[in-house]
Amino acid sequence: MSLNRGADRPPFTREDVEHGGAMVHLMALVIENARLQEEQARRIRELTALNRRLEEAQVQLMQSEKMAAIGQLAAGVAHEINNPVGYIRSNLGALGEYLQALLGLAGRAEEALGALPPEHPARRAWAEACAAADLDFLREDAPQLLAQCGEGVERVGRIVRDLKEFSHVDEAQWQEADLLQGLASTLNIVHNELKYRAEVVRELQPLPPVRCIPSQVNQVLMNLLVNAAQAMEEDRRGTITLRSGSEGPWVWLEVEDTGCGIPRERLGRIFDPFFTTKPVGKGTGLGLALSARIAQRHGGRIEVESTPGRGSRFRLWLPREGPPPEAEGEAEAAAPGARPVEA
C-alpha cells in the first residue's frame, strides 16, 4: 500500500506518518481477525461433520447390536426348535397310525364279543372295561387331540421359518426378493405387538421382485409396524392398513394407522437419531433414523403424511432395480444389520 501526496501540498508530518502506521496496524488486525473467524467457521464445520459421523456410528452400532441379537436369536431358535419339531411331527404321524390300529382292534374285539350271548362273562368284562376306560369318548377325542397337536407343530414350524425369513439368516446379501413375503413374515414376528392394539387390513397389490437386502427391508417394515401399533390409544383398538403398488421403476409399501398422528412441528424431527416421544425403555428414537438410512442406501426414501388425532401414513419407496451398482457395496458394508447373524 502506498500513500502519495500531491506536489503542491506540504510533505507528510511525523504525526501523519504515525497516524498512517496506526491505521496500517489496525487494518492488519482486522484482516487477521477475519482470517481467524474464517478458520473458526471451518473448524466448526469440521466438528459438526465429525459429530454427525460419530452419531451415525453410534446409531449403527446400537442398531447392529440389536439386529445381531435378533438375528442370533432367530438362528438359535431355528436351529434348536427345528430338530424337535421334526421328530414330534413324524412321531405324531406314527402315533396317528398306531391309534387307528388300536381303535380298529377294539372295534374287532367289540364285534367278536358282540356275537356272544349278553350274559357271557367275557362280553360283560369287555363292556365294563370299555366303560371304565370311556372308550366311546376316547374314540372321538383322541384323533382330535392328535390333529390339534399336528396343527400346533405346524404353527411352531411356521414361526421358525418366519424367524429365518425375517432375519435372512442364510443370506444377508443383495438379491431379488418378494417384498410381500417379507412383509408377511415380519407381520408374524410383530403379531404379538399388534394384535391387541390394532386390526390389520391388507390392501396389497402384487409386486415385482425387488433388488434389495431383504433383512434390512424387513427391518424397516418392522419399525413402521411397531410405530403404528404404538401410536394407538391405550384403550381403543385401531386399524393398520397395509398397501403396496408399483409405479414405473418404483415399488412402494405403505403402513397407515389410525393412531395419534404427528404434529406438524414434529414431523421434521422424527427421522433424527434419538428423537423419541416415548417413555424411557419403550423408545430409543432409532427406528425411523435407521429406516430412513436403509431406504436411502437402497436408493429409495420414506414419505410421511400425518394428521394429529387421526393417524399417519408412512410409505417406503424402493427402486425395483436396486441402487446404482457402486452404492450396493457401501450399503452392504455400512448399513447396520447387513450381516446380523454370524451364527
Which residues would be at the binding site for Mg ion (CB under 5 A)? 227, 287
Q: Pick what 285 binds: Mg ion, ligand ATP, none; C-beta below 5 to 8 Å, kind-dependent.
A: ligand ATP
Residue closer to ligand ATP (CB basis): 11 or 309: 309
Least separation in angstroms between CB 82 and ligand ATP: 30
The minimum distance between CB 236 and Mg ion, in angstroms, equals: 20
Q: In the complex with Mg ion, which residue's Cβ is closer, 215 or 227?
A: 227
166 CB-near residues (< 8 Å, 6+ apart): 74, 182, 185, 186, 189, 215, 218, 222
CB of 255 to ligand ATP, least distance (A): 8
Task: Convert residues 234-273 into a mask of x (bound to ligand ATP by CB under 6 A) and - (unbound).
Answer: -----------------------x-xxxx-------x---
Q: Whole-number minimum distance, CB 266 to ligand ATP, in Å? A: 7
The least CB distance from residue 61 to Mg ion, in Å, is 18
Least Å from the CB of residue 229 to ligand ATP: 9
What value, to the nearest 5°, has the Cα angle with vertex 103 and ends 102 and 107? 120
**Residue choice 275, 296, 327, 332 for contact with ligand ATP (CB under 6 A):** 275
In angstroms, how far is CA 33 from the centroid of its own chain?
A: 52
- The single residue among 123, 276, 296, 317 that binds ligand ATP, judged by CB under 6 A, is 276
When the beta carbons of 209 and 308 are compared against ligand ATP, the nearer one is 308
**286 counts as binding ligand ATP under rule CB under 6 A:** yes
Query: Residue 210 or 226: which CB sits closer to Mg ion?
Result: 226
Report the residue count for the chain: 343
- What is the nearest approach in angstroms of ligand ATP to the Cβ of residue 286? 4
Among 53, 202, 278, 310, binds ligand ATP (CB under 6 A): 278
* Least Cβ distance, residue 207 to ligand ATP (angstroms): 22
Amino acid at site 111? E
Determine the size of the site formed for ligand ATP (CB under 6 A): 22
Is there binding between residue 292 and ligand ATP (CB under 6 A)? no
Per-residue binding letters, 218-237, with ligand ATP (x by CB under 6 A): -----x---xx--x------
Looking at beta carbons only, is 59 or 78 nearer to ligand ATP? Answer: 59
Among 312, 271, 269, 318, which Cα is nearest to 290's? 271
Task: Name residue, grid cell 435372512.
Answer: 168
Binding segment toward ligand ATP, per CB under 6 A, in 79-87, 127-135, 164-172, 280-288: 280-288
Going by C-alpha positions, the residue among 195, 190, 197 that lies closest to residue 236 is 197
Single out the residue of 258, 237, 181, 245 nearest to residue 212, CA to CA.
Answer: 181
Binding footprint of ligand ATP on the chain (CB under 6 A): 223, 227-228, 231, 257, 259-262, 270, 275-278, 283-289, 312
